[in-house]
Copies of this chain bind each other. A is one copy, B any other.
Amino acid sequence: MPRRYDPERRQRIIDAAIRVVADKGIGGLSHRSVAAEADVPLGSTTYHFKTLDELMVAALRQANEGFAKVLTESGLLEGAEDDLAGDLARVMGEWLGGDRAGVELEYELYLAALRRSALRPVAAEWTEETAERLARRTDPVTARALLALMDGICLQVLLTGAEYDEEYAREVLGRVIPRPARPSPETTPAPVRPPGPSHVRFPL
């Protein structure tokens, strides 16, 4: 009986759970499948995580760091440039274009909160935090809206199998961001920017 008193046992189980969800989906998540993937006996997974919900909470917490990391490393949050929409569209592109399975995994766990109330606080926490970080380059309301729109765009891509269109994303994200009020008090509400949808390609 090797490997007893493994101090990282718990972490290894979480990692294994993430791998399981990544390639078999949430439906394939079970104490047994995780135990096999982590190469630990069944009793070990049930000991550390009494219920699958507990395990999913831990997995979601860890998986959530995926996009957060991309966001951090993009330097987008420190940047002070004007083109926030373009930056976000680019980051989304990198995220979606990179480890697609990882993206699906994150969304699958995130969306699981729809039915599993145990996951809701974690999902809420993540939304809260990300919106807050985003708000550094805009205002809280806009940050939340950008987050919602990004979610919607990603879902359209993932659910329908469409191609991600960065130009399109940049365009519509830009519309959500209020233009910095010009000093001239005259340029009333007009969110300006001629919509010119003519040159925007559609994801099919």
Contact = CB atoms under 8 A, between A and B. Distances in A.
Contacts of A114: 104, 107-108, 111, 155, 158-159
Contacts of A188: 187, 189
A131 B178 CA distance: 24
Chain A at the B interface: SS class: helix
Contacts of A151: 151-152, 155-156
A190 B181 contact: yes
A145 interface: yes
Interface in A135-193: 139-142, 144-145, 147-153, 155-156, 158-162, 168, 171-172, 175-179, 181, 187-193
Contact of A128 (B148, B179, B191, B200): B200
Top 6 A-B residue pairs of the complex, sorted by shortest distance between their CB atoms:
A148-B152, A178-B195, A124-B160, A152-B152, A145-B172, A141-B197
21 contacts: A25-B115, A111-B111, A114-B158, A123-B159, A124-B161, A127-B156, A127-B159, A128-B200, A131-B197, A139-B197, A140-B194, A140-B202, A141-B193, A141-B197, A144-B197, A145-B172, A151-B151, A151-B152, A152-B155, A175-B177, A175-B191
Given A141-B171, A145-B172, A155-B155, 20 more contacts: A104-B114, A107-B114, A111-B111, A113-B159, A114-B159, A117-B161, A123-B159, A123-B160, A124-B161, A124-B162, A128-B200, A139-B197, A141-B192, A144-B194, A144-B197, A149-B176, A176-B176, A178-B191, A178-B193, A178-B194
